[in-house]
Structure 1
């Protein structure tokens, strides 16, 4: 590492709520045990003038819970195998001008289900996990009004599979947001008032 470069590595284990069996499963409404996850990440952070550039690679494994197809075409909601995500993240934050800041990032993810019995759920991108996600935000400091910033943002998600078999795909989408933030002293306390409009153009999309 140097004064403008930092390398890092991290390891984390997590626990999240187990899923509930859907109504059509033989064990309908049963709640499975909590899901374990394990993640490794290594990356670099580089300061270049007014900008912080980041890059990281990650490897995430999480217990997989899904509706397993039985020989008689019924389903059991079970925990079996893992969802394995691997990818890279890139980021850029900093000041474009004295009054305009930017924050942006893009993530590429390869996701697979492994060690499960249902073969047609394997060998392709996991359901509802887009390969590419990207975000960008701009913050403009209004020179004539102290404490006032105008905000804008965009979120992008690429196409993804809508079913576990990987036979149905939904298109990608972009969502735009705008807002404002006003920082002032209110009743003797530092206070920030915020106003936001999410999904400015009322885009209809399939959530990740």
Structure 2
């Protein structure tokens, strides 16, 4: 049975969140963190996929939290979330992203590791998600880059021509930097970074920054 929690109205609150986390320990931790998150105005905790789909159809959902054990890349709910512009944040049990999630037709918009589920981590993830970025803990970024840098038998080349500035931004994306951090590093505006990131996603055929970095490494655009 789903449960809806509403916080007292505050000016900075703006997000409606839905969750599906059946892991009892993580569910309690996530509930506690979201109940005090300044960016969140309403939380609906769902017990199964039917309740998630009902929530997506019933009204506004800005962010959908899912645990990897409850996530099926090709299931209807992730597609519904994308169609309704809801961002999907995936909770992982460890700093390892299952291959089927990275290669699936619906790649999550951000990631959090259960052991690092702190108020500050969730707040940063929500802020970066709203800004159109892909939140990912440093431990997860390192694990992902280590894995995809292994050439393996399926290494392939993608015919993509990047500008010098796009290459600079791509390398900083691979380091896990946010748009603001990239803007400071390169001495350009955040708007300029957003434009370059959008161009990279288009050229690489990637749905988000995580997929763009993975594609770039596997295709040889980022040196190992």
Give TM-score scaled by structure 1 length.
0.25
Q: Quick check: which one's strand share is greater?
A: 1
Rg larger in 1 or in 2?
1
Give TM-score scaled by structure 2 length.
0.24
Say which structure, 1 or 2, has more relative contact order (CA 8 Å, 6+ apart).
2
